[in-house]
A and B are shown apart, each in its own frame.
Chain A
Amino acid sequence: MKAIRIILRNIRDGFKSVGRNISLSIASISCITITLLIVAIALIVSYNVESITKRVKEDFTIITFVDNAASEEEIKNLASNIEKLDNIDSVEHETKKQIADEMKETSDSLSAIIDTWSDETNPLYDTLLVKVKDTEKISDTAKKVQKLDLVKDVKYGQGMVESLLSVFNVLEKGMIIAMVALVLVTLFLITNTIKITIFSRKREIEIMRLVGASNFSIKQPFVIEGFVLGFLGSLIPIGLTLYGYSALYNHFNGQLFSPFVKLVSAEPFVYIVSLILLALGVVVGMFGSYNAVRKYLKI
């Protein structure tokens, strides 16, 4: 009962002191708001970049052209041999007739020409569309496929794939570094602002100690205050994420410039980002004030 009363009073005092020190509270809240806004933007951008590169990578395919001399049976064998190689995700057989049919659909004049082909005169090759698990190793895998019998040629966008991959690599690493740096800066900025808030209340802590408040009961209201500051500071970034990103997504119809560059759909993405922001604000707020109070306590 006693402990509950103390905790309830500390919660009350935590909330009260946000109001009592309103100017400093506003300073802390705006600092948290701004840093969390930057974090929100960084999260949204990096997650989108990540999803776009992932989608592009998923489209990477080794197109394996099979010698025309191969029989149906031999093509099946070849496909299962490819499947046995390392780093193979899936193998799909596309007959030359299917390819010809696909080509017919692209234009009428082409369609007229292709119509003149019979099964024997069709100049196209049967192909096996090979998807790999790790796109980084796509060229190695392509070389292995090339060496198999009955493989006429392989194409996986040699040259372009490599440069795309290296761009993606740099992009992804840059994003990770930027995110880590941002989170650290957020931690630093928020804890420091809160530290300043609490520094101005050194006297309050001193008096609490003098009248016999235990270290725990001194810390508690400050930690609760940090929680309140973090919570209030995360409201605007969360609101902007929830409404802003959804509005952006709808405005662009979910894609940027071309259907190739798809945005991450708003739900549940915005909720996840909001949760991250809330957690970051609240945890950093609490941690910041805990740390700051500790400085003024002899422990």
Chain B
Amino acid sequence: MEFIKFRNVEKTYKNGVNAVYDINLDIKKGEFVFVIGASGSGKSTLIKMLYREERPTIGEIYVGGINVAKVKNSKVYKLRRKIGIVFQDYKLLPKLTVYENVAFALEIYGLPTVEVRRKVLKALDLVGLKSRTKSYPDQLSGGEQQRVAIARAIVNSPKLLICDEPTGNLDPDTSLEVMKVIEKINDLGTTIVMATHDREMVDKMKKRVILLDNGKLVKDYEKGSYSHYEGN
């Protein structure tokens, strides 16, 4: 069953830049998909359209049955509550502790404090940071900060986790550590869509890979069939 559907999606920015064209793509529930391509290939645009930061100019995008392109600005938050997003620059609030940063994503729903606490600790446990709840982001390493960001993204048990270059700022060892956490989340049933530059990582992970070039979907590698030594 398709969880995410792209149908003839095209995005042209207001300044006339054509970011992506004619994207058709299906992603099943529980899949782990890498989106790769050079800078400017349209990866980010594709990812941003998934969480309705950008709207496609033409075409339709369905996420779990919702036509994302049709979601109004004032209703975007309803979509965002169903998905988790992780960014290259973590986007943690520096003046909140680890616990508060993660709890923040739950408190906006008005959950009771006891439940917030239970879910936050569970999410932090999953990323291996249960002992750092009282630290502030600047007291953590990059990898740890990214794990906090992942905890925040999954604390609400979303069906979809979107990652935009989550390891872009991390060294290879730390990247692997973060990737393992994400893989664990995938094993628990969450669909993962990840844009990345890190081809070596993609190699190691043996997942489905979508290659974009100049705004076009040029290749869709089945799980495990991608190798960057092929010359891509």
Contact = CB atoms under 8 A, between A and B. Distances in A.
A associates with B: yes
Interface of A: 1-3, 5-6, 9, 20-21, 203-204, 206-215, 217, 298-299
Contacts of A204: 93
Contacts of B105: 211-212
B222 interface: no
A21 B104 CA distance: 18
6 contacts: A2-B110, A207-B91, A209-B80, A211-B108, A212-B105, A298-B76
Interface of B: 51, 73-74, 76-81, 85, 91-93, 95, 104-105, 107-112, 152, 156
A22 B73 CA distance: 32
Nearest to B153: A211
Given A203-B91, A204-B93, A210-B91, A215 B107 contact: no
B93 A212 contact: no
Contact of A209 (B76, B93, B104, B152): B76
Contact of B80 (A3, A21, A210): A210
Contact of B110 (A3, A20, A211, A298): A3
A19 to B, nearest CB: 10
Given A203-B91, A207-B91, A299 B74 contact: yes
Contacts of A6: 107-110
Nearest to B103: A9
B108 A213 contact: yes
A20 B80 contact: no
Contact of B108 (A20, A206, A217, A298): A217
Contacts of B110: 1-3, 5-6, 9
A207 to B, nearest CB: 5
Nearest to A297: B73
A1 B110 CA distance: 8
Contacts of A9: 107, 110
Contacts of A210: 51, 80, 85, 91
A298 B81 contact: no
Contacts of B74: 214-215, 299
